[in-house]
Amino acid sequence: MIIRYRDVWKAFDGPVLTGVDLGVEKGEMFGIFGPSGTGKSVLLKTTIGLIALDRGDVEVEGESVYYGDRKALRRIRKKVGYVFQHAALFDSLSVYENVEMGVPEDELKHLSRREGTRKIWEALELANLEPREVLSKIPAELSGGMKKRVGIARAIVGRPRILLWDEPTTGLDPVNTIAVERLINQLSDQLKVTSVIVTHDIEGGLAMCDRVTMLDSGRLRFVGTPEAFRQDGDQVVRAFIHRSSAEAALAEVSHR
Amino acid sequence: MESISAPTPALHLRPLAIVGRVFGGMAEHAGEIWSLLVSSAMAVATLQVSLRSVMQQVYVMGVQSIPIVLVSAVLAGVVTSQQGGYQFQGSIPLYILGSVVVASVVLELGPVLTAIVLVGRVGARITAELGTMQVTEQIEAFHAVGRDPIAILAAPRIIAGIIVVPILVGIADIVGILSGMVSAQLTTGLGPESFLYGARLFWHSWDLFYSLMKAGAFGFAIPVIAIHMGFRTVGGAAGVGRTTTASVMFMTLTVLILDAFFPPLFLQ
């Protein structure tokens, strides 16, 4: 297992995660589904210690996220690229500086300006952006789809072994949604990374992922292959699939 | 893990519960501020704070604040001079006005008015900026890429505050005295020589040091509170608005409370 969630508990005003146990295998693309507010993004954030846990632990390549020292956490974060739901680009920095932030600090110190630029250039190209056009722009000058791609470039520029995707297609039109899904597939193949994807887009997620899970009321309702998920007899799972399909159809109609 | 809500206390215990909540909230703020200060000091000690970021903040907080600081200093000097002149006419020798203007501006109006102006101009800006970064996950993004937001966002602002506020107060002191002197001549006919004679009569060099010390304390408190409030922002755009308002209130109160502590500590 490359990622192991062990008895993860988290509550804010009410319980969010209630004893989640889950493992992600090396090299697989793993999808996390579930209704809004069930703790999908919270679970993803615990992978690199962005949220303090009430109980439990997460291990990445055997190292503890919550019980290790600061150096261990830094090592883990170096191995992991995180794509935020709304890109979370740094407003005051240019695209160049934003992507440069993704290069680990100790590596950046040993890179010449030219080598650094080449690295950033490659990451932007991998994210299907034309570097010449965007490098000097600030996030406010980019479209939603472009921001997302810059966020992806920032996540992959450090050549991580694991990519975490938090709702990568949320807020995008159907054309951009398909493009980003293709990009996720393409990057997973090219970079040979393990991907964990939190998504509302059930059809897209099922088509991309090797295994999926469904979170409901802070607990795992299902873990298995996409085929098994489609055929699962659990009423909650079935209701979720039907509701999500209906919402997706509605969204497509409203975009036309 | 079920969430358990606290039981409602009996009627006669409710005031106690309110006091408990207030003190609990204050302890939480104090703990977080202490943690922010320790982390910032560690970032400085381990040379993680870039000089470029500090200079950038010195420019934003200091250079860009000069016009508003000048306006408030001129008005403070003019008003003190006019009111003093009005009260002294026919009773106290008018050259004493020089002393009153200098003492008022250096001991009180220069540092406090400048600090209040900076609460609105600098403090509110810091809270809104960091609050927006917090609710748009930019602060988490710093952690995700292995960077320390304290070293990048907090420490440069605190250092810049400690550097620029005493300089701005020094400028405000000089401008306030000069504008008071000009105003005294225009409204009461008191010449610059008499004004300066009166000013020298009761002048203590310690007063200037006192003024700059106060400025240093304000320059430290304003960014620290603004950053702390920015980092604890939740709840989208409305949350940023709420936190910024609360931050301005805390900073203003802190400036006034610190101001009240200075005379018994340093003017005895």
For the segment A68-118, what is each residue's pLDDT rounded down to a tens digit? 998 999 999 999 999 999 999 999 999 999 999 999 988 998 999 999 999
pTM, full prediction? 0.88
Of A166-180, A231-245, B209-223, highest mean pLDDT = B209-223
Residue B160, Cβ density class (10 Å: 0-12 exposed, 13-18 middle, ≥19 buried): buried
- Per-residue pLDDT at A254 exceeds 90: no
Indicate the burial class of A46 (C-beta count within 10 angstroms; 0-12, 13-18, 19 or more). buried
Please answer yes or no on whether A102 and B143 come within 8 Å at the CB atom: no
B120: how many CB neighbours lie within 10 A of its CB?
A: 13
Does B145 contact A158 at a Cβ distance shorter than 8 Å?
yes
Average pLDDT on B142-154 reads 95
B2 pLDDT above the threshold of 70: no
Q: Are B161 and B219 in contact (CB under 8 A)?
A: yes
Cβ contact B144–A11 (<8 Å): no
Check B146 against A82: CB less than 8 A apart: no
Q: How far is A112 from chain B (nearest CA, A)?
A: 19
> Across chain B, what does the average pLDDT equal?
94
Is the Cβ–Cβ distance between A77 and A162 less than 8 Å? no
CB of B136 less than 8 A from some CB of A: yes
Residue A29 burial class via C-beta count within 10 angstroms: exposed 0-12, middle 13-18, buried 19 and up: buried
Phi, psi angle pair for A194, to nearest 5°: -90, 135
- CB atoms A85 and B143 under 8 Å: no
- Could you tell me which chain B residue has the CA closest to the CA of A103? B145
Give the ipTM of the model, two decimals please. 0.90
Residues 173-232 of B with CB under 8 A from A: none
Give the nearest chain B residue to A9 (CA atoms).
B1
d(CA A24, CA A210): 10
Average pLDDT over residues B68-95: 92
Say if the Cβ atoms of A48 and B136 lie within 8 Å: no
